[in-house]
Structure 1
């Protein structure tokens, strides 16, 4: 059924208290906003414009949309939210905190933007995503998202049959190596000072995965673009066209500290994310979290699904609150009649 609500100007903010503010305009945030807007909820998305997958050429593994450039996918999502009356505002959230609840106890929140704008909302959806922290190897960061990758499901097909090197950072690199072995016969594991027991060495040898224990000093760029290989601490040059590295994944939490949302560490020191329950619920009434901010390994499809589920649960929670408020008002009218 086509939307009948007329979308307001792209970034014009509604007045008063809105049903929901969504912090983050990626797949999770836009999907949550879409569900809420289609339920005729007033919703505002605050989008910083810095999605995690910005360096990628295309979104992969998303049925029906495989290969779509990330920027194009997000622009489609923004227009869909606006089509149903939602607002998408470019901006940076510098503060979010609980405010005094309504007279009947319904939660209230204040969200402050870097330009001084203050938004007031009944519910919040945190969909800020995460940032990937790379090992401090000279020359590595410049090729992130192109010749330096982390996910075989996101980038694997595109780097198949290339000479690939895995830069080990911890236990997660072992699993990563076995996955990338499916994509190429020419794979080198650079231990980088991490411990590799004899059983793992035997397994790697059985799969023809070469092991280099000498530390990597720098990533060497190729003249025509991309990388040519790595320079080791002993001066040797090892040609590689692709490097895979497990990043440290940290949920973007700046400006959200006053909400008091619980955080949780990933195993092996691989990052930190928001702790959530079913459908993205949190210990803070009225606040949900969806996407990479709580599920660091989720691809675009999973993040979008999580955002949609959170949005549906938020709408149900609002519907219950609306009913309780209406009942209380009706009872007051009877009392004062």
Structure 2
């Protein structure tokens, strides 16, 4: 028989900024909370996080360590592990962990995030989060006025990224790689912005010392760069929900999958909420943390309603 960790008001899958923010809110609301953290935060490769008011420039791991201490201060539990499956119904979910233990929960919050899938370009993955980038609001300031390449995997997204990064540097090059050639109107727009377009496929990233120095093309040509930006495909971390749902769906951008949820994080499955990058792939840490707090408030309100209805039923039965 599997060992149980106990029964909680809420089990949160994912101990990043979203999950910890939700756990903090719920702990302060005197709810019993278990956070199961898989230890694979999406921003782990990055040395620092930015655009987080009062925490700009902080290493991501430091923010999470502070968050774990704050959650523990209100009685919340944070454990390292993987959630293998979730079964049951609202009010009585069973969460099975990879070590064979189980936890029971009245409500479930999915904050397990996404997996970024990078193009198979030699040397690219090793630089991810350092000088191979995605979000200009996270890293644009650090590469301002430098030579920036935009690696195209999808033409509309690449055009968007090229124009975005042009805000931070006048030296931006669009590398079409395997993406189709843009329409003439889009090419004219790039020309007007001073963004050259290179049609060849990129075969590798070049590094000098401990810094990206450029890319090499299939033709053998080398293009010097200080930074490379790419829009990865993303996959929702939601396999454990298979016995229960909700199922990930294609994102409107066509760049991967996500979990659809309402503004407060409520999904189509009663008792299941979702928040953070798994519902909004473009959300930065601050926005994801806010989404966790919003979902926590909605979950607590739902539990309050259930508790009141249960008390009313018992009171009537006692008359």
TM over 0.5: yes
Whether 1:39 and 2:29 are equivalent positions in the alignment is yes
Would you say the 8 A contact 2:238–2:248 is kept in 1?
no
From 251, 274, 278, give the equivalent of 1:293.
278
**Aligned mates of 1:300, 1:179 — CA distance in 2:** 20
Whether 1:133 and 2:117 are equivalent positions in the alignment is yes
**Aligned mates of 1:83, 1:16 — CA distance in 2:** 19
After superposition, where does 1:145-294 map in structure 2 within 5 Å? 145-170=129-154, 171-194=156-179, 195-222=181-208, 224-294=209-279
Note the C-alpha offset of 1:14: 8.9
Aligned to 1:89: 79
Whether 1:17 and 2:7 are equivalent positions in the alignment is yes
**Aligned mates of 1:201, 1:16 — CA distance in 2:** 60
Structure 2 gaps of 5+ residues are none
Note the C-alpha offset of 1:109: 0.3
* Cα distance change, pair 14–86 in 1 and its aligned pair in 2 (3 A): farther
**Aligned mates of 2:6, 2:304 — CA distance in 1:** 19
Aligned to 1:6: none
Q: Deviations over 1:264-322 (max 9, x none)?
A: 21234201100111300011111100000101100001100000010011011001101
Q: Secondary structure at 2:169's aligned position in 1?
A: coil
Note the C-alpha offset of 1:232: 0.9
Would you say the 8 A contact 1:128–1:293 is kept in 2?
yes
Would you say the 8 A contact 1:149–1:242 is kept in 2?
yes
**Aligned mates of 1:19, 1:203 — CA distance in 2:** 54
Would you say the 8 A contact 2:5–2:102 is kept in 1?
no
Larger Rg: 1
Q: Secondary structure at 1:136's aligned position in 2?
A: coil
Q: TM-score, normalised by structure 2?
A: 0.96
Would you say the 8 A contact 1:107–1:285 is kept in 2?
no
From 16, 39, 51, give the equivalent of 2:41.
51
Aligned to 1:302: 287
Note the C-alpha offset of 1:15: 5.3
- Runs (4+) of structure 1 moved beyond 4 Å? none
RMSD of aligned Cα (Å): 1.4
Aligned to 1:328: 313
From 61, 66, 73, give the equivalent of 1:76.
66
Note the C-alpha offset of 1:20: 0.4
Would you say the 8 A contact 1:46–1:89 is kept in 2?
yes
Note the C-alpha offset of 1:259: 1.8
